[in-house]
Homo-oligomer: A and B are copies of this chain.
Amino acid sequence: VLFLQMGWGDLGAFGEPSKETPNLDQMAAEGMLFLDFYTANPLCSPSRAALLTGRLPVRNGFYTTNAHARNAYTPQDIVGGIQDSELLLPELLKKAGYINKIIGKWHLGHRPQFHPLKHGFDEWFGSPNCHFGPYDNRELPNIPVYRDWEMIGRYYEDFKIDLKTGEANLTQLYLQEALDFISKQQASQQPFFLYWAIDATHAPVYASKQFLGTSQRGLYGDAVREIDDSIGKILRHLQQLGISENTFVFFTSDNGAALISAPKQGGSNGPFLCGKQTTFEGGMREPAIAWWPGHIPAGGVSHQLGNVMDLFTTSLSLAGLQPPSDRQIDGIDLLPVMLQGKLIDRPIFYYRGNEMMAVRVGLYKAHYWTWSNSWEEYGKGTDFCPGQSVSGVTTHTQEEHTYLPLLFHLGRDPGEKFPLSFASEEYQRAMQWITGIVQQHKDTVVPGEPQLNVCDKAIMNWSPPGCEKLGKCLKAPESDPKKCSWPH
């Protein structure tokens, strides 16, 4: 599984006007393109938790109840993380003899009990949190980079990222790590699960020297080109080792492109409305490609409504395993879609924190709540929908529409710009269909214990395991737990 932060519109195969992703386009030509594939949340940590548990964040605990409908994630001072009661994909795959490796960003909590090797992974090379700030390690610790149980350095100190030139060779390190792991598994003939969850293209955006200045899209495009090149190398490596027909590869993203970083550090959501942080299509519809030569027919294009949570169930199915039956699993098995071209009826739920904001059923999408961000944030220049103000839709107050949802037909209107008339027969018919599905969903949701409510500077990455050997232990301040502040 390749899991990054890129927008739906960032790939040539999805219409990016610079067409600079020949390897991903080739992957699509050899595999199946999913045009209606979604993430489980418009933000990184909850999406990653959803992928690995097959469950919506509101169930697995990756949300906040500090305020209504707020995005939350796992910054350095987050107290919560993935609970032992959650069953992660690698834990289950172990039962079928899989060796599991995560390369890149874990993001499911950085305190010792949340360590990925305690949750089913056998190997780890990467960081527990995003690679951003503080950049100097003086007042706050820089993010550590782990190899397995111990940290081996920190971003900006030992793993350089030049914020001025945008140069960093991290994607190359992560690529080499992936190639080596694949070679090792092939040699030992052991089945493996590789979760390649690299940091790029998250801001601050970086690329290796040989890619700097090579794109028509600036630094962000350089980073995309490097990722594209890396994925090409991974796929060719599988082919050269002769295991491509035994290896299922899926490429997708954890949230829409962050338009707030546009244009220099931000990507493209193609024709869709807004970006990361929102429950409009730009926030949650993702590029997605399935690749499995000899099994998935080349050049396929699917309109199946898919979700990152499906990768949980589909991966289990590939390993001959059943999903857990003692809990609600939201992911579905996509094998019939990929191998037999089936279409499975299923809704997509768009959550923001503790609130179901919208639902998609067929080509209809009903918004029960609309919000981009507050007037206060917007007034300070934070805009999740730059140049895309749609009256009554991209609202700056939380607008409730539960009694008369805003309805869009995503086929005729992928940009969510023209709500259907409430009085139309089409509206009545569609809402009748949707209402039943939403009711059924709400009846089954038992919210998990929210993990993203409490923050405490004392639990930051001051002294990760291994810091002594490196002389990189820092002194933590006294514990002072507080409600985390989630402004949007």
Which residues from chain A sit less than 8 Å from chain B, CB to CB? 9, 12-19, 33, 35-36, 215-218, 220-221, 262-264, 268, 270-273, 301, 303, 363, 386-390, 393, 409-418
Contact = CB atoms under 8 A, between A and B. Distances in A.
Contacts of A36: 17
Contact of A417 (B12, B16, B387): B387
Count the copies: 2
Contact of A17 (B216, B414, B418): B414
A288 to B, nearest CB: 12
A387 to B, nearest CB: 4
A136 B271 CA distance: 38
A18 B411 contact: yes
22 contacts: A9-B15, A15-B16, A17-B35, A17-B270, A17-B271, A17-B272, A17-B410, A17-B414, A18-B303, A216-B363, A218-B412, A220-B412, A221-B412, A262-B417, A262-B418, A263-B413, A268-B271, A270-B270, A386-B418, A387-B388, A387-B390, A387-B393
Given A387-B273, A418-B386, A411 B221 contact: yes
Contacts of A418: 262-263, 386
Contacts of A216: 303, 363, 411
B264 A412 contact: yes
Contacts of A409: 218, 263
Nearest to A22: B301
Nearest to A219: B412
A216 B411 CA distance: 5
Q: Give the interface centre of A262, A410, A413 by most chain B CB atoms within 10 Å.
A: A413
A409 B215 CA distance: 12
Contacts of A18: 35, 303, 411
Q: Give the interface centre of A16, A215, A389, A412 by most chain B CB atoms within 10 Å.
A: A412
A417 to B, nearest CB: 4
Nearest to A264: B412
A199 B272 CA distance: 28
B363 A301 contact: no
A412 B263 contact: yes
Contacts of A263: 409, 412-413, 417-418
Given A262-B418, A268-B271, A388-B388, A411 B217 contact: yes
A14 B9 CA distance: 10
Q: Give the interface centre of A13, A273, A409, A414 by most chain B CB atoms within 10 Å.
A: A414
Contacts of A264: 412
Contacts of A410: 17
